[in-house]
Amino acid sequence: MPSAGSVSADVGTSLPLIAAVVLLLAALVTLVVLLLRWATSEPRQPAPELVEEPPAPVEPPRPPAQRRPAAWHHPAGRRVPGAPVSQPIAVRPRRPLERVAADVRRLTRELSMVPGGMPMARRRGLLAAYDDVLIEAAELLDVPNQLATEPPGTRELERMRLLAMLEAAGLVVGD
């Protein structure tokens, strides 16, 4: 057993004292945190089972839905001629002329470099996209065209005529 004036005797008595001080500080910090939470929290609402709910408002009965006469529509969903049109035709938003012109130039380049072994479906798809963009450009510049109504045999001639008209209207077609 160490003597009364030794270092180990002092350490043996100071360790329980340090532990007690640390526990007391932890309890004090916990108490302060709980008090701060209580002071800054919102007031409590009464329990939900004690709150009386107001009665739901009574809605007036709805009239039955208006049905269209059966004579206005075809059984397969087609509109019968002479029937009133129920919805106006939605107008597609127009793209800016710069984008349409860029598409015309891009598709012109792609069509001029079509390789010989290109599948026919891809070539037809490219031509259909080219026709759509030419028609869109013609509508934006108010150039008359018959590209959509031309038979496939004379469509290439109409494409060339429409390209010349678009260039005359100020559209830059070539790079």
Give pLDDT, residue 138.
93
Q: How far is CA 99 from the centre of its chain?
A: 22
Q: Are 95 and 133 a contacting pair, CB within 8 Å?
A: no
Give pLDDT, residue 22.
87
Cβ-in-10-Å burial (0-12, 13-18, 19+) of 104 comes to: buried
* 10-residue mean pLDDT series, the chain (175 residues): 57 75 89 83 61 69 64 56 64 85 92 86 91 93 90 88 92 80
Give pLDDT, residue 154.
86
Tokens 């035709």 sit on residue: 89
- Cα–Cα distance measured from residue 128 to residue 57, given in angstroms and rounded to the nearest whole number: 59
Give pLDDT, residue 62.
73
Give pLDDT, residue 86.
62
Give pLDDT, residue 99.
93
Burial 65-79 (b: 16+ CB within 10 A, else e): eeeeeeeeeeeeeee
Give pLDDT, residue 72.
54
Give pLDDT, residue 12.
63
Give pLDDT, residue 118.
84
Total-model pTM = 0.48
- Cα–Cα distance measured from residue 96 to residue 7, given in angstroms and rounded to the nearest whole number: 90
Q: Which two tokens stand for residue 52?
A: 């009386």
Amino acid symbol at 50: L
